[in-house]
Amino acid sequence: MKLFDNIWLKVIAIAAGLVLWFHVVTEKVYHHRLQLPITEIVLDEKLTLMDAPLDSLMVVVHASGKQLLRKKWRERGVKIHAVQLPTGHHNINLTTANVSLFDVGNLVTLDEVVSPTSLRLYIDHQSEMTVKVTPDINPVPDEGFAVSKISSPEPSEVTLIGARSLVRRHTTVSTIPKELTGLRNNLTLTLPLVKPPGYRIELQPDSVTVTVEIVAVKTRIFEDVPIVVYNAPPNKKALTFPATLRIELTGPPEEIDDLDRSTLIASADFRLIDSNGLTSVKVDCPSHFKVKKISADAVRIIVQ
């Protein structure tokens, strides 16, 4: 038991010595070189940067060992003071006069900016402009259904904020591309906006709402739609056999009932004739409608 007590006392003594050593070491002041992030460049409130600045600086600081071990002040990084600079291109020397640690009080002191020792800044006016929103959405209805309507985005305009030279390049912004398949019911989507390129460009708001209306389709048959021949030889009359098509079209019930047959264009391209004198037929119709069936996929072209 006595031997055990002696060992335990030695352990306690060693531990106490380590604690004392750690306290002395961490209270000692050190000069330390390290890389810190640039977290802010202070400009006049009406100005902003055109381009992204450097990410970080190599600096020398001095502080107690205890402070150097802490991470929070390192993550806060440094800020560069350039509030006196007007718009334009500037090359500023970096020293402790215009570089400071971010929110550390007197606990850590900046001694020197090591690298880089200069920084190029392109400063511009901070500007705001209203731009229109263009939805980039491709709704694909299920078989037997059709897209009746895609609403205008809400809001239809947003505010673009950033450097004046960048903001003035844009009159519209689009939503992030979205494709939807197998739709049978109406749906309302919140679509994020694509932020234009540029340093600290912002959109307010950064998303819009779009509603897609889906309806059950109705089929309508158009008889005797004439076929137009494109790219026929000059001064020649081109005829097709058959001369007309029977077209089955599907679409929203109310719209398809009002659809004028003149909006349907059946065509054949003379340049695409194969060795048998045949060429495929193309049918164009308004975007809300879909060609379900045509009476002939290919026709023969006769030139007179």
| pLDDT for res 10 | 55
Tokens 């390192």 — which residue? 74
Task: Rounding to the nearest 10 degrees, give the CA dihedral for residues 264, 269, 270, 274.
Answer: -120
Checking if the pLDDT of 41 tops 80, the result is yes
| CATH number among 2.30.31.70, 2.170.120.40, 2.60.40.10, 2.30.30.50, domain 126-216 | 2.170.120.40
User: Which range, 10-24, 99-113, 214-228, has the best average confidence (pLDDT)?
Assistant: 214-228
Cβ-proximal residues to 178 (8 Å cutoff; 6+ apart), any chain: 136, 137, 138, 189, 191
- pLDDT at residue 7 is higher than 90: no
Average pLDDT of every residue of the chain: 87
The predicted-structure confidence for 140-153, as pLDDT tens digits, reads as follows: 888 888 888 899 99
Q: What is the pTM of this model?
A: 0.65
Model confidence at 24, pLDDT cuts 50, 70, 90, reads very low
Q: Which residues, including other chains, have CB under 8 Å from residue 227's CB and lie 6 or more apart?
A: 240, 242, 243, 244, 245, 266, 267, 268, 281, 299
What residue segments make up the domains of the chain, in order of their start? Answer: 2-116, 126-216, 218-303
Q: Which of 130-139, 169-178, 253-262 has the lowest mean pLDDT?
A: 253-262
- Per-residue model confidence (pLDDT) at position 9: 52
Q: Flag whether pLDDT at 20 surpasses 80.
A: no
Residue 113 and residue 81 in contact, taking contact as beta carbons nearer than 8 Å: no
Q: What is the CATH number of domain 218-303?
A: 2.170.120.30
Of 1-10, 13-22, 226-235, which one has max mean pLDDT?
226-235
How high is the pLDDT of residue 5?
A: 52
DSSP 194: -
Using pLDDT thresholds of 50, 70 and 90, give the confidence band for residue 26.
very low
